[in-house]
């Protein structure tokens, strides 16, 4: 999606078009679609920031209910591995571009260690121009912390920070 539709039209779009918006803001995820699409059709949002805040609240609610762990981890797992050679979405590829320099082996090993520490999760961070060393240090800190609940919340926060950044960029394109 090269740009986002005007937020005032979102509830009136087809489910297919609403899905494209969610995929552009987050990552393609059937779990996100199932969770968020029903409320998009019935709610009206004043801004994309308001929509993302709405999504954040829904994602956060999943962290409080152990019966939703599989769904939550599916949502978090929709993000590509940092430094992966093949990244599905153009947005993720651009966001991770600065991570493609240097030793990919060390980043791959950290991804493996992270996923062993937090089974079912993917390390998600808002890269925001930071280089590989800074991101890898953050990854090590989060692995050392070893707190699954904190990690789930950090991943959700990062996903929503990424979505806000994408919304700003995709809205700038449409102006």
Chain mean position to CA 128: 13
Is the separation of the CB atoms in 37 and 19 below 8 Å?
A: yes
Tens digit of each residue's pLDDT (9 = 90 or more) over 94-146: 544 445 555 788 888 999 999 999 999 999 999 988 888 999 999 999 999 99
Q: What domains does the chain contain, in order, with CATH numbers?
A: 7-174 (1.10.3330.10)
The mean pLDDT of 39-52, rounded to a whole number, is: 95
The rounded distance, in Å, linking the Cα atoms of 120 and 168 is 30
Q: Whole-prediction pTM value?
A: 0.86
- Residue 67 has what DSSP assignment? G
pLDDT at 1: 66
The rounded distance, in Å, linking the Cα atoms of 73 and 12 is 30
């Amino acid at each position: 999606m090269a740009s986002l539709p005007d937020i005032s039209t979102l509830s009136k779009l087809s489910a297919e078009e609403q899905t494209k918006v969610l995929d552009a803001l987050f990552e393609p995820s059937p779990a996100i679609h199932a969770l968020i699409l029903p409320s998009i059709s019935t709610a009206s949002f004043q801004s994309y920031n308001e929509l993302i805040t709405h999504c954040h609240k829904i994602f956060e609610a999943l962290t409080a209910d152990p019966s939703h762990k599989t769904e939550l981890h599916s949502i978090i797992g929709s993000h590509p591995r940092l430094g992966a050679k093949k990244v599905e979405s153009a947005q993720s590829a651009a966001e991770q571009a600065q991570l493609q320099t240097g030793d990919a082996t060390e980043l791959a090993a950290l991804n493996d260690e992270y996923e062993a520490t937090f089974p079912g999760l993917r390390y998600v961070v808002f890269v925001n121009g930071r280089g590989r060393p800074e991101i890898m240090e953050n990854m090590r800190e989060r692995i050392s912390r070893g707190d699954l609940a904190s990690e789930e919340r950090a991943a959700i926060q990062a996903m929503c920070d990424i979505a806000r950044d994408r919304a700003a960029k995709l809205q700038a394109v449409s102006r």
